[in-house]
Amino acid sequence: MELLLLSSSTKHGTGFLEHAMPAVTELLAGRDRLLFVPFAKQDHDGYEATVQAAVAPHGITVEGIHRAADPVAAVRDAQAVFIGGGNTFRLLAALHRLGLLTALREAVRGGTPYMGASAGTNMACPSLRTSNDMPIVQPPSFEAIGLVPFQINPHYLDPDPGSTHMGETREQRIAEFLEDNDVPVLGVREGSWLRVRGERAELGGATGARLFARGSEPRELEPGEDVTFLLSTEPHFDS
């Protein structure tokens, strides 16, 4: 598989996909069409236009799957797929409704490059359980595409020791997840991403990540670090 799983589509001070464009163009090398899945946001046409503006200078034409008469066939025919960010629950509900989970899984495992950002990165995990979103709609299942066997928490925020906010930190929420699920969670900070090339996985970008696992202290991961070991994870949910 060829995966590019971005924590976010934007980084403070940069335009849409600008911070990750070298990684984007490397993933899409030799391809001039990109199938875009905009279902995490309500304005599908506007979202498609945003992506098109970002990649047009690189000779890539964006095709919104919401325009396809047969979305499953569109996935099967795609040169590459990009699932954008927004609300993860809305996105997953749409993928279930349109019967796209199996089509996406089969296409990407068969070699179609996959890019996700934020909610789209959540979709590459086995489940949406480590999403940051409010459940504004109810999908029929938490099951996602499952391209990687572990969980990712996009937009990961480190605890602020000076904060007076009394709500849970991201680290506390992930710790709660691990109390009931024995699945590693990769907390990817904005500005970083996971790149999977076949049997190898590497952390890209500039801001690094933190790895959480049941029974272990969180581990800091540096940009460029090899995380191939995560691909051999055996996830256990409700454990």
Residues identified as active-site = 118, 133, 155
Using only C-alpha atoms, the chain has a radius of gyration, in whole angstroms, of 17
Q: Determine contact, residues 40/84, Cβ cutoff 8 Å.
A: yes
Q: Determine contact, residues 96/103, Cβ cutoff 8 Å.
A: no
| 185-188/209-212 β-pairing | antiparallel
Q: Determine contact, residues 233/201, Cβ cutoff 8 Å.
A: no
The residue written with tokens 């480590």 in the block is 130
Distances (CA, A) of 113 to 50, 74, 80, 222, 229: 20, 14, 5, 25, 21
Q: Determine contact, residues 71/101, Cβ cutoff 8 Å.
A: no
Query: DSSP string covering 195-230, please?
Result: EEETTEEEEEESS-EEEE-TTS--EEE-TT-B-GGG
Single out the residue of 97, 154, 100, 144 nearest to residue 124, CA to CA. 144
